[in-house]
Amino acid sequence: MTRNIDEAFKEATEFIDIIKKPVGTVSLEERRKIATETVENFRDYINKGFLEYRKSVTEAGEFAVTEWMGQGSILKDALDREFIDILGGFGLYSYGIRHPKIVEAVKAQLDRSPQYSQEMLDPLRAKLARVIAKLTPGDIQYGFFANSGTEAVEGAMKLAKFYTGKKGFISMLKGFHGKTLGSLSLMGKNDYRAPLLPLLEGMRHVPFGDVEAVEHELKYAAAVGDDIAAVVAEPIQGEAGAIVPPDDFWPGLRQVCDKYGVLLIADEVQTGFGRTGKIFGVDHWDVAPDIMCFGKALGGGVVPMSGFFSTPKIWEVMEPNPFMHTTTTGGNPIACASALAAITVMHEENLPAQAAEKGEYVMNRLQELSERHPGILDKVTGKGLLIGMHFVDDEIGYHVASGLFARGVITAGTLTNARCIRFEPALNIPMELLDEALNKMEDVFKSLPSS
Ligand SMILES: *Cc1c(COP(=O)(O)O)cnc(C)c1O
């Protein structure tokens, strides 16, 4: 692109003027222009591949839907069309979009100090750590905040290496922990890993839910002196399709980790803060991990936020030189204000209980749907509002995802990977919207040739 500094400034100014217009006062004509230009901008400045992907997930040329605003569980596009959000930003929107109490706290903090000096002590970070220490199981107490889930996982891996002096990790097949190089080393799927090998040394992957396989690896690793720092797993696998492990898995992991003297890391980036019907995923099995990773919903869906927490005993290794792990913007005041407000919302709205109840309702209704329209759904998995709909094949899953989209319901599924679609709405989604989404689901099931 030809350099043109004047035009760069002019375009930025014009767009800021549009952003600053009061809600509801940007004309339809302006929004239409924005929608058209957004497609061009994605094509020319972000990645053409996204447009191809969008085309592949939508029927009837609706690929270029431009997000404009959202509230609760409703998204609106630039042309005023409404969608029910049952994707929840893959777990980001546990509290819904723009929860008023979270937005209010962030606005108030913005008026005081949005970022910190890097030198004085920051009261918000300190308070949030104290609050999370009180929410978490076992001896978990000290924490470090960052901006994304993958950063929380990277920090947890560094902590485990510092503390144990060992380099290896055991993680789970189909597990997902983020896409930076350390987290990718843990990933249990070849697609995103293979082109980047070799990643970190000493990685081993075992089937999710199989404690014996974990113990075998620990035994062999010890036998050859190639020792393991930690075992890493999601309490319930998210990206893999809301896969719930057998009930003896987490207690068993705790046992073998203690037996072999390795740390247990729970990646709660997606399961944390109410999503699965308890405050944390590990609460279903009353297990206290050595390190916990948080992200997504932690920031209340308003400001990006993540963190990893551990016990005083383990955290000691971070004390002689607290600069061994740092970040400039992680745990900034607006992110902490957002997270603190989100935690109060979780409590006031009793969101873990809402997730448990609504989750059971959705699973039952999907089961009924499946019985009325056989040959579409293979199975439904999950806990709380982390639910996976597993279709008999990719093609049917794709038709369901695109059929829902055409009926104004947002999910995620692609032409090549729609065997499983996640049902992961805000935990406070109103029952009427949940029913509307499920009714539209039945409508789509009815329209499929196989039913
Ligand atoms: C989404 C996710 C991550 C990565 O979070 P990002 O913010 O996308 O980096 C890590 N672990 C789990 C379990 C996740 O679901």
Domain residue ranges in the chain: 23-98+351-447, 101-348
- Which pLDDT band holds residue 61 (cuts at 50, 70, 90)? low
Within 10 angstroms of residue 181's Cβ, the number of other Cβ atoms is: 13
Atom of ligand 1 nearest to the CA of 149: 5
pLDDT of 450: 58
Q: Among 151, 270, 306, which is best to mutate for testing ligand 1, by the most ligand atoms less than 8 A from CB?
A: 270
Q: Quick check: 169 pLDDT over 90?
A: yes
Which residue has the least CA distance to atom 10 on ligand 1? 177
pLDDT of 225: 84
**Secondary structure (H, E, C), 209-230:** CCHHHHHHHHHHHHHCCCCEEE
Cβ within 8 Å of residue 235, ≥6 positions away: 245, 250, 266, 268, 271, 276, 280, 281, 282, 284, 285
Amino acid symbol at 27: S
Atom of ligand 1 nearest to the CA of 237: 13
Atom of ligand 1 nearest to the CA of 150: 9
pLDDT of 441: 97
Q: Among 150, 183, 293, 305, which is best to mutate for testing ligand 1, by the most ligand atoms less than 8 A from CB?
A: 150
- Which pLDDT band holds residue 5 (cuts at 50, 70, 90)? very high
Tokens of 198: 């070799």
DSSP per residue, 321-360: -GGGS--SSTT-HHHHHHHHHHHHHHHHTTHHHHHHHHHH
Q: Among 145, 176, 265, which is best to mutate for testing ligand 1, by the most ligand atoms less than 8 A from CB?
A: 176
pTM of the model: 0.96
Q: What is the average pLDDT value for the chain, to the nearest integer?
A: 94
Give the bridge partners for 431, in sequence order: none
Cα 190 to Cα 11: distance, rounded to the nearest angstrom: 42
Q: Quick check: 217 pLDDT over 80?
A: yes
> Domain 101-348 has what CATH class?
alpha beta
> Using a 6 Å CB cutoff, which residues line ligand 1?
148-150, 153, 176-178, 234, 238-239, 267, 269-270, 295-296
H helix intervals, 225-288: 249-260
H helix intervals, 111-210: 123-135, 149-164, 181-186
pLDDT of 1: 87
Per cent of the chain over pLDDT 70 is 97
Region 408-415: mean pLDDT is: 81
pLDDT tens readout for residues 189-208: 998 999 999 999 999 999 99
Cα 254 to Cα 243: distance, rounded to the nearest angstrom: 19
Maximum alpha-carbon separation in the chain = 70
Phi, psi of 332 (to 5 degrees): -70, 160
Cα(296) to centroid of ligand 1, in Å? 7
CB 18 within 8 A of CB 26: yes
Helical (H) or strand (E) element with 308: strand 306-310
Is residue 451 helix, strand or coil?
coil
Which range, of 59-73, 149-163, 284-298, 390-404, averages the lowest pLDDT?
59-73
Within 10 angstroms of residue 101's Cβ, the number of other Cβ atoms is: 15
CATH of domain 23-98+351-447: 3.90.1150.10
Region 419-435: mean pLDDT is: 96
Burial degree of 195 (CB within 10 A; 0-12, 13-18, 19+): exposed
pLDDT tens readout for residues 342-354: 999 999 999 999 9
- Which pLDDT band holds residue 414 (cuts at 50, 70, 90)? low
Q: Quick check: 60 pLDDT over 60?
A: no
pLDDT of 56: 66
pLDDT tens readout for residues 34-56: 999 999 999 999 999 988 877 76
Cα(177) to centroid of ligand 1, in Å? 5
pLDDT of 63: 67
DSSP per residue, 386-442: EEEEEESSHHHHHHHHHHHHHTTEE----SSS-SEEEE---TT--HHHHHHHHHHHH
- Which pLDDT band holds residue 8 (cuts at 50, 70, 90)? very high
Atom of ligand 1 nearest to the CA of 296: 7
Q: Quick check: 451 pLDDT over 60?
A: no
Q: Quick check: 119 pLDDT over 80?
A: yes
